[in-house]
């Protein structure tokens, strides 16, 4: 019982941590152009997580934002995982042609080093 | 030889006519498999007798078998006129699927719509699969498939509410609506709104036979969220003995209400989903008031193989003796782009008068537990 409680707490804590980190992204992304002029600013603003993981999370958001611009693609069915700029796509699209389209959209996002495409087609309910 | 050249000429005429359209697509799916089920019943009545186990060739293990035509014409300025005709049929006997009237099938029972798309969004008029079903399918790891999913759970609620399964008029919510006018908004930061209104066409009775629904969906960052509101007047007016006994006249009675909230998250190869829904007859909520909850988990091993599972719980809010739990797991393997093989197993524990089915179209005995297994193939053209 005690271990379950501890586990629950740990999970809850992880979620809180994850959500605060996630929420800090938009501001960080907005300040990115400024920090291009002074690299020291960026280093000062983000001592919480290693720069690599932070950059990966920001890149993940950018990829989702890019895919989300295409209204025929449901970015809610797609998993984007970024590790050191290498993107892995999982999940489903509704048309075979979208598998390549999503990959192409992802490749156009600046900062993406490589794309591993594991997308599959899942026809929506009732059809075509 | 003469015949050949004349048929060629006919073909040429047809293809020339087809080219006048921007595009027309003929398409379809055949889905067939072998089903074993440990109990069965002849009807959805809560008193139906257990007819024992059954082995059968079964249509629609994933979704219905259907065929259809769709097309669009570009009229300029970013606007398109579209149409869609689609009907389901049973691969085991070739018969057409259910329509909105008991004892009558329809050639295009799934879609018979004409509509327009443009910067304003999409508008479709006619009989169609309504937005609420898509909202449920997109927040169910099992994808509202015909075997053990949010669809069979929702149908279980309808069976408990008195749906005899002889027409597509459901007492709680709807899968298909005739006379429907559906507007879908453009996507705005992943969010879309769909609104449906179906005029009843009942003389002298404005509210008679009308349907209205609203669906709000969000889809981005690997997350799908759905919220559904459905309300119907005079739904399912046909008594069990129809056409011997006549249909109840439409009086504008508000007798069908359904709320649904669902979420699905996809991360790496995993998908998880959960939902909660309430369905009742506002005119008779002391007898028809149900709750439905679901949970799902799936994993995509590689682009051609995945396993999905789901748990579905139904409860009668007026009588706690009536409840039902179902668990289903299925494996799908893509043999090619157009063909997949599947194997799935389901178990349902029905209590009281509940008779939640494991697969659409195969009634189970009420109040007992049932196991079913199916292997099949789904081929699209």
Does B9 reside within a domain? no
How close B169 comes to chain A (CA, Å)? 17
| Domain co-membership, A118 together with A77 | yes
pLDDT of residue B133: 96
* Residue B134: Cβ-neighbour burial (10 angstroms; 0-12, 13-18, 19+): buried
Joined together, the tokens standing for residue B191 give 């969010």
Closest CB to A64 among B25, B144, B221: B221
Joined together, the tokens standing for residue B213 give 């629904």
Separation CA B61–CA A128 (nearest Å): 17
The answer to whether A68 contacts chain B (CB < 8 Å) is: yes
pLDDT of residue B84: 97
pLDDT tens profile B131-182: 999 999 999 999 999 999 999 999 999 999 999 999 999 999 999 999 999 9
Nearest to B359 by CA among B96, B139, B39: B39
| Domain co-membership, A122 together with A84 | yes
Residue A29 has pLDDT above 70, yes or no: no
Within 8 A by CB and 6+ apart from B168, the residues are B98, B99, B100, B109, B174, B175, B176
| Domain co-membership, A125 together with A110 | yes
pLDDT tens profile B170-229: 999 999 999 999 999 999 999 999 999 999 989 988 899 999 999 999 999 999 999 999
- The ipTM is 0.87
Within 8 A by CB and 6+ apart from A97, the residues are none
Confidence of residue B240 (pLDDT cuts 50, 70, 90): confident
CB contact under 8 A, B222 and A75: yes
CB contact under 8 A, B380 and A125: no
Separation CA B41–CA B115 (nearest Å): 41
What CATH number has the domain bearing residue A118? 3.30.1340.30
- Mean predicted lDDT score pLDDT of chain B: 93
Contact present, A58 and A28 (Cβ < 8 Å): yes
Confidence of residue B242 (pLDDT cuts 50, 70, 90): confident
| Domain co-membership, A61 together with A27 | no
| Domain co-membership, A56 together with A89 | yes
CB contact under 8 A, B186 and A71: yes
- Give the number of beta-carbon pairs within 8 Å between A and B: 100
Within 8 A by CB and 6+ apart from B106, the residues are B87, B96, B97, B98, B99, B100, B127
Mean pLDDT for B41-54 is 95
Residue B291 has pLDDT above 90, yes or no: yes
Contact present, A89 and B277 (Cβ < 8 Å): no
Residue B290 has pLDDT above 50, yes or no: yes
* DSSP conformation letters of chain A: -HHHHHHHHHHHHHHHHHHHHHHHHHHHHHTHHHHHH-HHHHHHH--SS-HHHHHHHHHHHHHHHHHHT-TTS-GGGEEEEEETTEEEEEEEESSHHHHHHHHHHHHHSTT--EEEE--EE-PPTT--
Rg (CA), chain A: 18
Would you call B8 helix, strand, or coil by DSSP?
helix
The answer to whether A105 contacts chain B (CB < 8 Å) is: no
- DSSP letter (8 states) at residue B381: -
| Domain co-membership, A58 together with A120 | yes
Does B85 reside within a domain? yes
| Domain co-membership, A43 together with A77 | no
Joined together, the tokens standing for residue A117 give 């495409």
The answer to whether A81 contacts chain B (CB < 8 Å) is: yes
The answer to whether A103 contacts chain B (CB < 8 Å) is: no
What CATH number has the domain bearing residue B68? 2.40.160.10
Does B6 reside within a domain? no
Range of the domain at B323: 25-380
Within 8 A by CB and 6+ apart from B286, the residues are B318
CB contact under 8 A, A126 and B143: no
B→A contacts (Cβ < 8 Å), by residue, are 25, 27, 29, 63-64, 66, 68, 70, 86, 110-111, 129, 133-134, 137-138, 143-144, 186-187, 189-190, 218-225, 264, 266-269, 271, 300, 302-304, 306, 334, 337, 380
Contact present, A97 and A73 (Cβ < 8 Å): no
Range of the domain at A107: 50-128
How many structural domains does chain A have?
2
Does B3 reside within a domain? no
The answer to whether A55 contacts chain B (CB < 8 Å) is: no
b (16+ CB within 10 A) / e for B41-50: bebbbeebee
Separation CA B144–CA B312 (nearest Å): 11
The answer to whether A119 contacts chain B (CB < 8 Å) is: yes
pLDDT tens profile B302-311: 999 999 999 9
Does B4 reside within a domain? no
- CB atoms under 10 Å from CB of B81, counted, come to 16
The answer to whether A69 contacts chain B (CB < 8 Å) is: no
pTM: 0.85
How many structural domains does chain B have?
1
How close A102 comes to chain B (CA, Å)? 13
pLDDT tens profile A60-111: 999 999 999 998 899 999 999 999 999 999 999 999 999 999 999 999 999 9
pLDDT tens profile B80-129: 999 999 999 999 999 999 999 998 999 999 999 999 999 999 999 999 99
- Which secondary structure element, helix H or strand E, spans residue B5, and what is its range? helix B2-20
Closest CB to A90 among B111, B300, B334: B300
Residue B316 has pLDDT above 70, yes or no: yes
| Domain co-membership, A79 together with A126 | yes
Chain A residues touching residue B186 (CB < 8 angstroms): 71
| Domain co-membership, A13 together with A76 | no
Confidence of residue A50 (pLDDT cuts 50, 70, 90): low
Nearest to B298 by CA among B261, B343, B268: B268
CB contact under 8 A, B222 and A79: yes
- Mean predicted lDDT score pLDDT of chain A: 73
CB contact under 8 A, A76 and B219: yes
pLDDT of residue B37: 98
CB contact under 8 A, A118 and B303: yes
Mean pLDDT for B236-242 is 83
CB contact under 8 A, A90 and B268: yes
The answer to whether A47 contacts chain B (CB < 8 Å) is: no
pLDDT of residue B23: 86
């Amino acid at each position: 019982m005690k271990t379950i409680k501890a586990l629950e707490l740990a999970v809850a804590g992880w979620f809180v941590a994850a959500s605060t980190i996630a929420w800090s992204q938009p501001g960080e992304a907005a300040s990115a152009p400024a920090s291009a002029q002074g690299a020291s600013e960026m280093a000062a603003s983000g001592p919480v997580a290693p720069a690599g993981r932070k950059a990966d999370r920001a890149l993940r958001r950018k990829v989702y934002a890019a895919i989300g611009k295409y209204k025929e693609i449901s970015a809610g069915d797609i998993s984007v995982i970024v590790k050191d700029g290498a993107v892995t796509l999982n999940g489903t699209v509704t048309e075979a042609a979208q598998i390549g389209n999503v990959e192409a959209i992802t490749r156009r996002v600046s900062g993406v080093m490589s794309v591993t495409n594991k997308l599959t087609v899942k026809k929506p309910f009732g059809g075509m | 030889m003469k015949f050949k050249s004349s048929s060629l000429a006919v073909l040429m005429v047809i293809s020339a006519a087809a080219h006048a359209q921007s595009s027309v697509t003929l398409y379809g799916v055949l889905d067939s498999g072998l089903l074993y089920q440990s109990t069965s019943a002849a009807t959805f009545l809560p008193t139906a007798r257990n007819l024992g186990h059954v082995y059968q060739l079964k249509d629609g293990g994933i979704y219905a078998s259907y065929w259809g035509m769709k097309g669009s014409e570009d009229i300029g300025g970013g606007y398109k006129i579209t149409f869609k005709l689609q009907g389901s049929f049973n691969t085991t006997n070739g018969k057409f699927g259910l329509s909105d009237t008991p004892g009558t099938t329809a050639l295009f029972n799934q879609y018979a719509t004409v509509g327009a798309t443009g910067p304003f969004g999409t508008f479709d008029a006619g009989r169609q699969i309504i937005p609420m079903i898509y909202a449920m399918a997109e927040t169910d790891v099992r994808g509202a498939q015909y075997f053990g999913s949010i669809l069979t759970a929702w149908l279980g609620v309808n069976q408990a509410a008195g749906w005899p399964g002889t027409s597509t008029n459901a007492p709680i919510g709807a899968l298909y609506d005739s006379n429907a006018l559906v507007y879908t908004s453009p996507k705005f930061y992943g969010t879309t709104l769909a609104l449906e209104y179906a005029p009843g066409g009942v003389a002298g009775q404005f509210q008679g036979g009308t349907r209205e629904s609203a669906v709000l969906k969000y889809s981005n960052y690997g997350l799908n969220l759905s919220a559904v509101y459905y309300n119907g007047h005079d739904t399912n007016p046909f008594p069990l003995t129809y056409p011997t006994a006549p249909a109840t006249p439409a009086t504008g009675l508000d007798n069908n209400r359904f709320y649904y909230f669902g979420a699905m998250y996809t991360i790496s190869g995993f998908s998880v989903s959960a939902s909660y829904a309430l369905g009742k007859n506002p005119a008779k909520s002391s007898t028809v008031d149900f709750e439905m909850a679901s949970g799902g988990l799936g994993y995509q091993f590689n682009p051609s193989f995945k396993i999905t599972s789901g748990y579905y719980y139904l409860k009668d809010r007026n009588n706690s003796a009536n409840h039902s739990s179902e668990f289903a797991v299925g494996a799908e393997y893509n043999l090619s782009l157009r063909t997949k093989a599947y194997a799935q197993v389901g178990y349902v524990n029905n209590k009281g008068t509940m008779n939640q089915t494991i697969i659409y179209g195969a009634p189970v005995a009420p109040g007992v537990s049932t196991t079913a297994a199916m292997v099949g193939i789904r081929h699209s053209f």
